[in-house]
Amino acid sequence: MDRKQRGYHGWLRVATALTLLGASSCVERRMTVRTDPPGALVEIDGEVVGFSPVSMSFAYYAPRKIKITHDDYETLTVIQEVPPPWWDNWLTEFFTENLWPFTLRDEREFHYVLEPRRPHTTEAILDRAERFRQEAHGAGITTP
C-alpha cells in the first residue's frame, strides 16, 4: 500500500469512527401527565394524547398548552412551562445531541387536580346572560 492509499484509509477510519460515535448518541424526552381523578382526556397543543395517566415523547422544549377534560369535573386548561435541562443549551446542544456517546433521558411529570363541576342554576345562567348582553350593548352590538 502506498502512502496515498494509507492516507485515504486513515481518513476513512476516522470518518467511520465519528459516524459510529454520532449514531450512538441519543436524547430521549418524555412527559407524563397524571390527574386526580385518573382517566381524564388529555390534549397537548391541540392533539389528543389519551387518558391519564398518559405519556408522550417530545422533540423540543417550549411552553405546552395542556387541556384536561373529565365527566363531572371542570375542564382545566393550562400553559405548562417545559424548560430545558442544564445540558441542553445553545453552547452544549450540538455535543449532547450528536457526539455524546451515551443516552440522555429527560422525563417530566405533571400532576393536576381537577375540581368537581359546579351545578349551574337557572338564576346563575340568566345573570351571566345579562352580563354578556350589557357588555355587547356597551361595545355597540345590538341584541334582539
Calpha distance 3→6 (Å, rounded)? 5
Q: Name the band, by pLDDT with cuts 50, 70 and 90, for residue 48.
A: very high
pLDDT for position 68 = 97
Q: Name the band, by pLDDT with cuts 50, 70 and 90, for residue 97.
A: confident
pLDDT for position 16 = 62
Domains and CATH numbers, the chain: 3-119 (2.60.40)
- In this model, does residue 104 exceed pLDDT 90? no
pLDDT for position 125 = 80
Structure pTM?
0.64
Calpha distance 106→29 (Å, rounded)? 5
